[in-house]
């Protein structure tokens, strides 16, 4: 092997090491919440004041729009879990192509009446979402669990970040109850988003 060949290999190796280091630094930055500024984003009808517009039923028990109790405004989304099956509501957010985030924060408020407390890990009473990144890869589900039993309105936050340096093009949000019984209200679902790529 010629000396010039060795030099070329060393240069390529050096470039590879530099690239990996830069990528790792970028990933580390993305995981630092304080380095990422999230701004308020539109979440259509997250307060259910427009009834069920933009929302779909999660079969088989679904949901109803209720005026029994509300955290904001006059209405909320009520899930009456007569049977320990699956219920709630789902909506899908599509991000503008020129404004795709790689971090999203979702918040939701929920109130519970006699929600069963079984210990099966498949039971759910949560804000749930999964995302699709710009390569078409689905990530999640990401879950923020609410307290079971009986309680007044409580707020939970779901922090979502896309793996690597990819942005999020689509987010499916679910107010989900599964394999539990009781009465549950969801209200005031809000979203923030940010793009942390390149931040130091």
Q: Contact positions toward Ca ion, by CB under 5 A?
A: 47-48, 70, 72-73, 75, 187
Length reported for the chain: 200
Q: How far is the CB of 111 from Ca ion (least distance, A)?
A: 11
Q: How far is the CB of 69 from Ca ion (least distance, A)?
A: 9
Q: How far is the CB of 65 from Ca ion (least distance, A)?
A: 9
How many C-beta atoms lie closer than 10 Å to residue 2's C-beta? 7
Comparing CB distances to Ca ion, the nearer of 45 and 181 is 45
Comparing CB distances to Ca ion, the nearer of 77 and 115 is 77
Decide: residue 55, CB within 10 A, 0-12 exposed, 13-18 middle, 19+ buried.
Answer: buried
Comparing CB distances to Ca ion, the nearer of 65 and 148 is 65
Count of alpha carbons within 13 angstroms of residue 141, beta-carbon side:
14
Comparing CB distances to Ca ion, the nearer of 63 and 95 is 63
Edge-to-edge strands of the sheet including 124-133? 56-57, 86-94, 168-178, 124-133, 138-145
Residue 56 and residue 170: Cα distance in Å, rounded? 16
Q: How far is the CB of 188 from Ca ion (least distance, A)?
A: 6
């Amino acid at each position: 092997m010629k000396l010039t060949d060795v030099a070329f290999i060393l240069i390529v190796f050096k470039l590879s090491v530099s690239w990996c280091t830069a990528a790792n630094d970028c990933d580390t930055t993305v995981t630092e919440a304080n380095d990422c500024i999230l701004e308020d984003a539109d979440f259509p009808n997250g307060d259910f004041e427009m009834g069920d517009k933009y929302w779909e039923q999660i079969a088989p028990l679904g949901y109803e729009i209720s005026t029994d109790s509300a955290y904001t405004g006059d209405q909320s989304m009520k899930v009456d879990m007569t049977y320990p099956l699956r219920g709630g509501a789902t909506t899908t957010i599509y991000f503008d192509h020129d404004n795709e985030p790689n971090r999203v924060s979702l918040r939701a408020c929920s109130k519970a009446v006699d929600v069963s407390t079984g210990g099966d890990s498949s039971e759910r009473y949560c804000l749930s979402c999964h995302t699709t990144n710009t390569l078409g890869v689905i990530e999640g589900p990401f879950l923020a669990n609410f307290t079971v039993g009986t309680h007044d309105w409580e707020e939970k936050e779901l922090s979502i970040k896309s793996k690597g340096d990819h942005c999020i093009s689509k987010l499916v949000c679910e107010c989900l109850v599964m394999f539990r019984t009781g009465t549950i209200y969801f209200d005031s679902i809000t979203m923030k988003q940010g793009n942390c790529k390149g931040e130091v």
